[in-house]
């Protein structure tokens, strides 16, 4: 079988670019770049959607061993359908993930490694959003669902919990004055901290699991979004399954 991902190619005058410092247990280990483009409804896409492009490069310490981790991907998210493709390279080993959310909110995710394809399905009650969408500006409410599909790394992980509003201590002086909202979400195996400004921009987030803390701290506050002019060049085709 072969899995294909069709993507919409549109031009926009302005994009929102975010650069994050990645740290492990308080030590800087790399960088993540995120570019978010916002598109209004058009003739071919009846609902507005967001395109998220991202790239990460860092060196993790796992059980005393240095592990190079590189990641690149693209996701498109709307109220009706969402899709993503992501490539994770772990010390040269490549693991690709492709996902598609249908009209009912159910996700199908394909994992591809060395020509082998495995398939996972998640209902709308199991997964509300993906870890890619955490970088899209959003204001959370105390008690909001966080049924999240974490697609970084070797395995996809589902965590089901809710947000609790509370003060999160962070050490980055550059973004402290911008903090509007601090939340945490915890299960027995994992804890997520989330700090945002008044516009919902993610300033800082950390994931604590298996005795380690991986955090992302925004390096500078981006300028206001200018949607600019839009010109359609192609249409969105989604993920297709082809029999060989």
pLDDT in tens, 190-206: 889 899 988 899 999 99
Which two three-digit tokens encode residue 185?
A: 């979400």
Cα(206)–Cα(120) distance, integer angstroms: 26
Find the helix or strand (DSSP H, E) in which 10 lies. strand 10-12
Domain limits, the chain: 15-223
3-state secondary structure of 13: coil
Please say if the pLDDT value at position 6 is more than 70: no
Report the pLDDT value the prediction gives residue 235, as an integer from 0 to 100. 44
Q: What is the pLDDT of residues 219-229, one digit of tens each?
A: 988 766 554 44
Quote the pLDDT of residue 10.
45
Is residue 48 over pLDDT 90? Answer: no
Mean pLDDT of the chain: 83
The residues near 155 (Cβ < 8 Å, ≥ 6 apart) are: none
- Top-confidence residue, 88 or 224: 88
* pLDDT for 171: 62
Start-to-end CA span in the chain (Å): 5
């Amino acid at each position: 079988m072969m899995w294909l991902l069709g993507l919409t190619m549109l031009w926009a005058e302005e994009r929102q670019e975010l650069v994050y410092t990645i740290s492990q247990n308080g030590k800087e280990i790399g960088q993540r770049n995120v570019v978010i483009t916002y598109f209004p409804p058009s003739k071919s896409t009846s609902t507005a959607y967001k395109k998220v492009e991202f790239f990460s490069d860092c060196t993790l310490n796992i059980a005393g061993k240095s592990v190079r981790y590189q990641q690149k991907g693209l996701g498109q998210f709307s109220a009706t359908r969402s899709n993503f493709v992501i490539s994770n390279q772990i010390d040269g080993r490549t693991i690709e993930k492709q996902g598609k959310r249908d009209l009912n909110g159910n996700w199908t995710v394909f994992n591809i490694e060395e020509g082998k394809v495995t398939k996972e399905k998640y209902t709308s009650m199991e997964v509300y959003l993906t870890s890619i969408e955490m970088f899209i500006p959003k204001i959370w409410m105390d008690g909001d669902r966080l049924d999240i599909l974490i697609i970084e790394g070797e395995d996809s992980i589902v965590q089901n919990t809710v947000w609790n509003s509370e003060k999160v201590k962070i050490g980055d002086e550059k973004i402290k004055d911008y903090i509007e909202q601090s939340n945490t979400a915890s299960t027995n195996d994992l804890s997520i901290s989330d700090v945002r400004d008044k516009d919902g921009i993610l300033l800082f987030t950390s994931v604590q699991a298996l005795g380690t803390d991986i955090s992302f701290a925004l390096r500078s506050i981006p300028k206001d979004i200018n949607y600019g002019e839009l010109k359609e060049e192609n249409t969105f085709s989604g993920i297709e399954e082809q029999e060989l």
